[in-house]
Amino acid sequence: MLSYRHSFHAGNHADVLKHATQVLILEKLKTKAKPFVYVDSHSGAGLYRLDSKEARKTAEYETGIGRLWSQQTDFPEIEVYLTLIKQLNPDGDLRYYASSPLIARELLREQDRIILMELHNQEVEVLRQNMAGDSRVSLHHRDGFEGLTAILPQPLRRGLVLIDPSYEIKSDYQQVMNSVMLSWRKWHVGIFAIWYPILSQQRDQSGWLLEQLAKIPCKNLLVAELAVSDQAKNYGMHGSGMAIINAPWQLDQQLASLLPHLHSSLAQAGQGQVRVEWLIEGL
């Protein structure tokens, strides 16, 4: 049974890193007129209310998108992302937050395609309502790890796969690895963006995941991490990262410029750090 609900976490610092990176990649794909496909293996509900009981209980968004919103943050690498969140909240009060499928729906063009997977019975129904009436979207109520390998390769040669599990089950790390390996073999030219948490010393598995990903004989592998506090010994998530296979040209420079800004807006004073690094470069 799936217990994780993203509504408790929507708009936190990890979402900011993930969605800002997603937007940069989608905008890069849009620089060519040729159509592309966006695939989301763990989609979530599409849209989250930040004034919901769940979001208010943890108030995680307050130290994520809430900070950028109240500081009226403005730098070029997150302009498109922030504009999108502003469009969802036209009266100036931050009440709605977009998840990855909605971001894709807003940014993709008529010729592009969107494939979404979500396993949770209730989340998938909300997602269905949020995506209703858009003929570019195919929605699958299924396991995203298995679904990803089943639907690839796609007729469109270019595109982005976002893999964003909750990692609430320990085996998610191994499942991510298996799924990325199998789907990359089927689609060498696709961009794969994998989100992962950075946890306390005793629980953190990000190092293992990156080691495994770096064994894939892909063209390149870029890592971008944002930690907003120091690593605790035994509990908590103090940061997160994005591992990007086949990272588009100049994404490293954009993230290297963006992350210090995000860190100074979102981190606890004097804590945390950022990292932008090629684990595999330019093969």
Q: Which residues of 121-143 are buried (b: 16+ CB within 10 A; e: fewer)?
A: eebbebbbebbeeeebbebbbbb
Active site residue 164: yes
Nearer to ligand SAM, 64 or 144 (CB): 144
Q: How far is the CB of 102 from ligand SAM (least distance, A)?
A: 8
Three-state DSSP state, 160: strand
Nearer to ligand SAM, 15 or 112 (CB): 15
| Residue 225 binding ligand SAM, by CB under 6 A | no
Q: How far is the CB of 86 from ligand SAM (least distance, A)?
A: 18
Which candidate, 207, 225, 215, places its Cα nearest to that of 245? 215
Nearer to ligand SAM, 43 or 63 (CB): 43
Strand partners, 278: 222
Would you call 98 exposed, middle or buried from its count of C-beta atoms within 10 A (0-12, 13-18, 19+)?
A: buried
Q: Token digits for 176?
A: 């991510």
Q: With CB under 6 A as the contact rule, which of the stretches 36-44, 69-77, 198-206, 249-257 interacts with ligand SAM?
A: 36-44
Which of 35, 64, 66, 144 forms a contact with ligand SAM (CB under 6 A)?
Answer: 144
Catalytic-labelled residue, pool 40, 164, 172, 252: 164
In whole angstroms, give the CA distance from residue 101 to residue 191.
16
| Residue 145 binding ligand SAM, by CB under 6 A | yes
Please give the residues from 154 up to 193 whose contact with ligand SAM meets the rule CB under 6 A. 164-166
Which of 44, 159, 190, 248 forms a contact with ligand SAM (CB under 6 A)?
Answer: 44
Please give the residues from 98 up to 117 whose contact with ligand SAM meets the rule CB under 6 A. 99-100, 117
Per this entry, what is the length of the chain?
Answer: 283
Q: What DSSP string describes 61-98?
A: GGGTHHHHHHTT---GGGHHHHHHHHHH-TTS---EEE
Which of 128, 143, 156, 181 forms a contact with ligand SAM (CB under 6 A)?
Answer: 143
Nearer to ligand SAM, 169 or 214 (CB): 169
Strand partners, 201: none
Q: With CB under 6 A as the contact rule, which of the stretches 30-38, 119-127, 206-214, 270-278 interacts with ligand SAM?
A: 119-127
Which candidate, 170, 128, 149, places its Cα nearest to that of 44? 128
| Residue 60 binding ligand SAM, by CB under 6 A | no
Cα-Cα end-to-end distance for the chain: 41
Say how many residues touch ligand SAM, by CB under 6 A. 21
Nearer to ligand SAM, 117 or 223 (CB): 117
Q: How many CB atoms lie within 10 A of CB 34?
A: 10
> Which residues are designated catalytic?
164
Using CB under 6 A as the criterion, which residues of the chain lie in contact with ligand SAM when the complex forms?
Answer: 2, 4, 6, 15, 18, 42-44, 99-100, 117-120, 123, 143-145, 164-166
